[in-house]
């Protein structure tokens, strides 16, 4: 399986994101069309649900017209054992950023979400690392166009080195 997209935030529509197949590896990865191994994604859509547990998490769903992507933004940085090994000042800054992002996520707003693809109770979700509320009314349409273009030009192509490098070599233009 091609790992060239493993560390990239892959732009996906909800339909594609929710249909990812999970690979039983550690850490868990997801496969796109059984060809690309991916771990991160970017989605954009209207916030249609929101559940906020102060000091713990913000769960919300983003609807892009093809489906709803469940998202979770963790807010428990001060009490989480995984952050206990880091410097307190760094953890405090991360917590402030996360709380600031959580306050921006409102029902009906258009949000761009980036994060790790995870699975909770068998359902695919995004564990959010970054949320941006979009002000541009064209953001949704542009995201759709980007996703379609990437699906056609990158995700939909065979993963051979020849196709990846085609057009970069002057000799290719002669054939």
Residue 3 domain-assigned? no
Residue 23 exposed, middle or buried by CB count within 10 Å (0-12, 13-18, 19+): middle
106 within some domain: yes
Per-residue confidence (pLDDT) for residue 154, from 0 to 100: 86
Residue 175 lies in a domain: no
Q: What is the pLDDT of residues 51-63, one digit of tens each?
A: 999 888 999 999 9
Q: Are 117 and 40 in contact (CB under 8 A)?
A: yes
Instruction: Work out the pLDDT band at 79, boundaries 50, 70, 90.
Output: low
Q: What is the CATH number of the domain that holds 51?
A: 2.40.50.140
- Any domain includes 1: no
The reported pLDDT for the residue numbered 162 is 35
Q: Is 47 inside any structural domain?
A: yes
Predicted confidence (pLDDT) at residue 172 exceeds the cutoff of 60: no
Q: In whole angstroms, how large is the CA radius of gyration of the chain?
A: 18
pLDDT at 46 over 90: yes
In sequence order, what DSSP letters do the residues of the chain get, joined into one string?
-B-TTTTSEEE--HHHHHTPEEE--SS-EEEETTTEEE-EEEEEEEEEEEEEETTTEEEEEEE-SS-EEEEEEE--TTT-GGGTTS-HHHHHHHHHHHHHHHHH--TT-EEEEEEEEEEETTEEEEEEEEEEE---TTHHHHHHHHHHHHIIIIITS---HHHHHTTTSGGGGG-
Residue 22 lies in a domain: yes
Asked if the structure places residue 158 within a domain, the reply is yes
Q: Which domain holds residue 127?
A: 9-167
| pLDDT per residue as tens digits for the range 120-170 | 998 999 999 999 999 999 999 999 999 999 988 888 765 443 344 344 434
Domain count along the chain: 1
Tell me whether residue 172 is in a domain: no
Strands 21-23 and 36-38: unpaired
């Amino acid at each position: 399986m091609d790992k060239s997209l493993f560390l990239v935030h892959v732009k996906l529509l909800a339909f594609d994101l929710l249909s990812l197949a999970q690979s039983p590896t550690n850490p868990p990865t997801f496969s796109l069309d059984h060809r690309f191994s991916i771990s991160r994604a970017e989605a954009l859509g209207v916030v249609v649900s929101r559940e906020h547990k102060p000091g713990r998490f913000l769960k919300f769903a983003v609807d892009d017209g093809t489906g709803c992507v469940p998202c979770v933004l963790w807010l428990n940085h001060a009490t989480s054992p995984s952050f206990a090994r880091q410097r307190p000042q760094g953890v405090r800054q991360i917590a402030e950023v996360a709380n600031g992002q959580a306050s921006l996520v409102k029902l009906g707003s258009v949000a761009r979400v980036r994060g790790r693809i995870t699975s909770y109770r068998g359902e695919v979700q995004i564990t959010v690392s970054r949320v941006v509320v979009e002000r541009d009314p064209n953001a949704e349409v542009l995201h759709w166009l980007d996703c379609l273009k990437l699906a056609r030009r990158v995700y939909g192509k065979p993963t051979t080195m020849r196709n990846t490098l085609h057009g970069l070599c002057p000799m290719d233009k002669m054939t």
